[in-house]
Chain A
Amino acid sequence: MSNQQDRYAEMFTRLDAKNEGAFVPFVMLGDPDIKTSLDILKALAEGGADALELGIPYSDPIADGPTIQQASIRALSHHIHPSDCLEVIRQFRDIYPDTPIGLLLYSNLVIKPGLDKFYTDAANVGVDSILIADVPLREADRFIDAANQTGIKQILIAPPNASDETLAEIGKKSQGYTYLLGRAGVTGAETAATIPASELIAKLTQYKVAPPLLGFGISKPEQVKEAISAGAAGAISGSATVNIIAQNLSQPKVMLTKLREFVSVMKQATKK
C-alpha cells in the first residue's frame, strides 16, 4: 500500500492560508512506555502540533545528546520493539487522519528488517516521512528509492556547514520538508540554535529545497518566532519536549497537561 495523501503539502497550504509557520514537536515512541506514548501523541496534537516527528528507540544514537539518549534508554528498558512503535502510530492515525507524521531514526533499524519491509510497514500505519540521522546524502539513494516505492517522503538534512553542491543536491532530492540544522553538534536544549542567516535561507530558496523546518536547540517560543521571521517554514523541538516527559515520569496527568501547554505556547509563536 502506498500513501497517496500528501499531508505535508496540505499542511503547508493550510498554514500559508492562515499566515502561520509549522510547529513540530519530537518525542521518542515508547517513552516512557507504550500506553503513555499514545497519550503523549494525543496531547501533542491537542496542544496544536501541526505535525509530529517521532523517534524509534535505538541502542547507539550517535547524533543525540543526553536528553534523547535517556528517552531511548527508558523505552528500551521496557523492551519496546520497532513494531510496537508502529502500532502506536497506527492507533494515533485512526484518530488524526490528517496530521503529518515523520519518523526520525537510525539506519540499522531500517537495514536489519530490510528497506522494502521497513518502508512498507511504515507506510501501512500511515507514516508520511522518514529521516535517518546517520544516512547522509551520499548514502541516501537506495533509501530514497524505497521511500518513492511506498509513497513515503525521504527527509534530508541541510547542515549549517553545507556546501553549495550539497544544497543543490538536496534541492533535487528533497521531499516533504527539509530538516534545517540550527547548529553543529548533537540534539539537546543545552546549546541554543543559531537563527539561520538570511543568506542561507535565500540559498535554500534558490536551490528549491522542500520547505525548511529549523531543528536542534529549539526550546523557546522566541526562537520559533525568530526562525519563522528569518524565513524558515517552521520549527522542530525535540529535547525540550522530551524533558517535560523526563521531569514528570511519576505524574502522567501533569506530564500530559504540561505537554499540551508547551505545544500551545510554541504554536502560538508561529503566527506571523
Chain B
Amino acid sequence: MNHLESKFGQYGGMYVPELLIPALDQLEQAFIDAQNDPEFQKEFMELLTDYAGRPTAMTLTRNLVSNPTVKLYLKREDLLHGGAHKTNQVLGQALLTKRMGKTEVIAETGAGQHGVATALACALLGLKARIYMGAKDVERQEPNVFRMRLMGAEVIPVSAGSGTLKDAVNEAMRDWSATYDKAHYLLGTAAGPHPFPTIVREFHRMIGEETRAQIMAKEGRLPDAVVACVGGGSNAIGMFADFIDEPSVKLIGVEPAGKGLHTTEHGAAIGKGTKGILHGAYSYIMQDEDGQIEESYSVSAGLDYPAVGPQHAHLHDIGRATYAAVTDDEALYAFQLLSRKEGIIPALESSHALAHALNMADEAEDGSIIVVNLSGRGDKDLAHVHSILGGQTNE
C-alpha cells in the first residue's frame, strides 16, 4: 500500500503493469526517507547552489508593460545550468537513484531538454544514462542529441508510433519493466504514475519558494498572479506549489493552442481534452471516441504532449488554478518581444506563459504584480524560430 497519497482528487493513481509496482513502491519509500534525511537534503541543496546556480534571479521587466503601475516579473529559470528548470528535479532523482543503489538511468525526452538535464546529472554523479527520443525529434533537435552524447548518454531513437515524446515514454516504460532491478526511470515531468507527480513537484518546489521570498523582499507582499506554461506541467507545479494555500495569488497555467483550439493541431489537454489514462495516470488527455490517444501538436516540442499532470487536472476541477491557451503565433510574437525589449531570448515553451502574462498585464488593475516563470532559455529554439520567421522579425 502507498504511504503517500497516490491521487489528487480523482486524478493520478498507478495505472501500470503489476510488474512495475514493486519498483514504484521502492521509489516512494526512497523519496520519503530522503525527504527526512538531512544528509540527502544537504547534498541536494549544495548541488542546486554550487552546481546548478540557485537561487535564480527575479527580474522586473522594464519595457514590456505599458501601464507604469503594473509590475511584470520574470522568475529566471532560464539562467539555471542546463538552460531550463529541468535541472532541479533531475538532480533530485539522480540522487535518489544512487540512494536506491541503482547504477543506470532511463529517461525520455521530447525537445531534448530533459534528456540534456538527465545526461548532465548522470555525468556528474557517475550514472549510466540511456535516453529514449522519438526518431522525428532526434532529427529536429540535433544539437541537443549531440549535447547528450557529449556528456556520455546513450540516445536511442524511437520510431514506433508517431516517433515523438509519447512514444519515447512508452519505450522508456517498456525498458524499465525489464530492468528495474538496476535502473531508475527518471521521468521528466509532473505526470506518469504515482509517486512521480509528487516527487517532481517537491523537487521543483523551490521555484515558488524563492519567488515568494524574492517578491516579499522587493514588494513586501505576495504577487497577484503567477503564470507558467503547461505541457506535462513540471515548471508550473514547481511555481504553484508554495502558493496553493494563498488564495490571494492567482495560479495561471498556459497550454499550447498550437494552430488554434478550433483545429486538431494543439496540445491543450485541459482546455480541449477529456478524462482518461495515459502513461500510468488518470487525468485530462487527448483521445478519440474509442479512447485511442491522439497526437498533440505545438511549435514548442516541450509542450507537445497529449496529457497533463494529474495535480493540474485537480487544481482545474476545484477552481484553484486557471488554464488558458496560447497559439504558436502568439508565443512566437512574445519570443521576439522579450528578445527585443528586454534582451532575454526565452524558450518557446516559456514564451507561451509570457504571451498570456502580457495580455493579463494590459488588463490588470493599477498596482498589480504578476510573476511569469521563465522556465527556460531560447538557445535551443534559435534554428527552429529562424526557419519559421525566415529572417523576418516583428517589431
Contact residues of A with B, CB < 8 Å? 58-66, 69, 73, 76, 81-82, 106-113, 133-139, 156-159, 161-163, 166, 181, 184-186, 191
Most A CB contacts (10 A, CB to CB) among B14, B15, B160, B177 go to B15
**Is the C-beta of B293 less than 8 angstroms from some C-beta in chain A?**
yes
Instruction: Tell me which of B18, B174, B274, B292 contacts A62 (CB under 8 A).
Output: B174
**Cα distance A107–B212 when bound, in Å?**
40
Chain A minimum-CB-distance residue to B7: A139
Instruction: Say whether, besides A82-B290, A111-B291, A112-B290, A163 and B22 are in contact (CB < 8 Å).
Output: yes
Instruction: Tell me which of B161, B174, B275 contacts A59 (CB under 8 A).
Output: B161
Q: Which residues of B contact A108 (CB under 8 A)?
A: 276-278, 285, 287, 291, 293
**Cα distance A64–B15 when bound, in Å?**
15
Q: Which of B279-312 contact A (CB under 8 A)?
A: 279-280, 282, 285, 287, 289-293
**Cα distance A65–B2 when bound, in Å?**
29
Instruction: Tell me which of B15, B180, B293 contacts A135 (CB under 8 A).
Output: B15
Most A CB contacts (10 A, CB to CB) among B1, B13, B275, B290 go to B290
**Cα distance A111–B289 when bound, in Å?**
11
Describe A's contact surface by its main secondary structure: loop
**Is the C-beta of B249 less than 8 angstroms from some C-beta in chain A?**
no
How close is B217's CB to chain A, nearest CB, in angstroms? 45
Q: Which residues of B contact A107 (CB under 8 A)?
A: 15, 277
**Is the C-beta of B216 less than 8 angstroms from some C-beta in chain A?**
no
Taking a contact as CB atoms under 8 Å apart, the answer to whether B277 and A134 are in contact is yes
Taking a contact as CB atoms under 8 Å apart, the answer to whether A111 and B277 are in contact is yes
**Is the C-beta of B322 less than 8 angstroms from some C-beta in chain A?**
no
Q: Which residues of B contact A157 (CB under 8 A)?
A: 17-19
Number of A-B contacts (CB under 8 A): 109
**Is the C-beta of B29 less than 8 angstroms from some C-beta in chain A?**
no
Q: Which residues of A contact B293 (CB under 8 A)?
A: 59-60, 108
Contact residues of B with A, CB < 8 Å? 1-2, 13-22, 160-161, 166-167, 170, 173-174, 177-178, 180, 274-280, 282, 285, 287, 289-293
Q: Which residues of A contact B289 (CB under 8 A)?
A: 112
How close is A160's CB to chain B, nearest CB, in angstroms? 8
Taking a contact as CB atoms under 8 Å apart, the answer to whether A81 and B290 are in contact is yes
Instruction: Say whether, besides A60-B161, A81-B290, A108-B277, A159 and B19 are in contact (CB < 8 Å).
Output: yes
Most A CB contacts (10 A, CB to CB) among B21, B167, B174, B291 go to B291
Taking a contact as CB atoms under 8 Å apart, the answer to whether B177 and A185 are in contact is yes
Most B CB contacts (10 A, CB to CB) among A69, A106, A108 go to A108
Known: A66-B160, A111-B291. 19 other contacts (CB 8 A): A58-B291, A59-B161, A60-B166, A60-B167, A63-B17, A63-B174, A65-B174, A107-B277, A108-B276, A108-B293, A112-B290, A113-B291, A134-B15, A136-B17, A157-B19, A166-B18, A185-B174, A186-B178, A191-B178
Instruction: Say whether, besides A59-B161, A65-B174, A112 and B17 are in contact (CB < 8 Å).
Output: no
**Cα distance A113–B290 when bound, in Å?**
7
- Interface pairs (17), CB distance under 8 Å: A59-B161, A59-B292, A59-B293, A60-B293, A63-B177, A64-B174, A65-B174, A81-B290, A133-B17, A136-B14, A136-B17, A138-B1, A156-B18, A157-B17, A157-B18, A166-B18, A186-B177
Q: Which residues of A contact B161 (CB under 8 A)?
A: 59-60, 73
How close is B368's CB to chain A, nearest CB, in angstroms? 41
Q: Which residues of B contact A163 (CB under 8 A)?
A: 22
How close is A74's CB to chain B, nearest CB, in angstroms? 13
**Cα distance A120–B292 when bound, in Å?**
20
How close is A118's CB to chain B, nearest CB, in angstroms? 10
**Cα distance A62–B177 when bound, in Å?**
9
Taking a contact as CB atoms under 8 Å apart, the answer to whether B19 and A134 are in contact is no
Taking a contact as CB atoms under 8 Å apart, the answer to whether A139 and B15 are in contact is yes
Taking a contact as CB atoms under 8 Å apart, the answer to whether B276 and A134 are in contact is no
Chain B minimum-CB-distance residue to A105: B291
Chain B minimum-CB-distance residue to A118: B291
**Cα distance A58–B274 when bound, in Å?**
17
Q: Which residues of B contact A133 (CB under 8 A)?
A: 17
How close is A251's CB to chain B, nearest CB, in angstroms? 26
Taking a contact as CB atoms under 8 Å apart, the answer to whether A161 and B287 are in contact is no
Chain B minimum-CB-distance residue to A135: B15
Taking a contact as CB atoms under 8 Å apart, the answer to whether A136 and B16 are in contact is yes
Q: Which residues of B contact A113 (CB under 8 A)?
A: 290-291
Taking a contact as CB atoms under 8 Å apart, the answer to whether A111 and B276 are in contact is yes
How close is B203's CB to chain A, nearest CB, in angstroms? 24
Q: Which residues of B contact A134 (CB under 8 A)?
A: 15-17, 277, 280
**Cα distance A65–B173 when bound, in Å?**
11
**Cα distance A139–B292 when bound, in Å?**
21
**Cα distance A82–B178 when bound, in Å?**
29
Instruction: Tell me which of A64, A66, A184 contacts B180 (CB under 8 A).
Output: A184
Q: Which residues of B contact A63 (CB under 8 A)?
A: 17, 174, 177
Q: Which residues of B contact A111 (CB under 8 A)?
A: 275-277, 282, 291
Q: Which residues of A contact B20 (CB under 8 A)?
A: 136
Q: Which residues of B contact A81 (CB under 8 A)?
A: 290
How close is B195's CB to chain A, nearest CB, in angstroms? 13
Taking a contact as CB atoms under 8 Å apart, the answer to whether A58 and B292 are in contact is yes
**Cα distance A76–B293 when bound, in Å?**
12
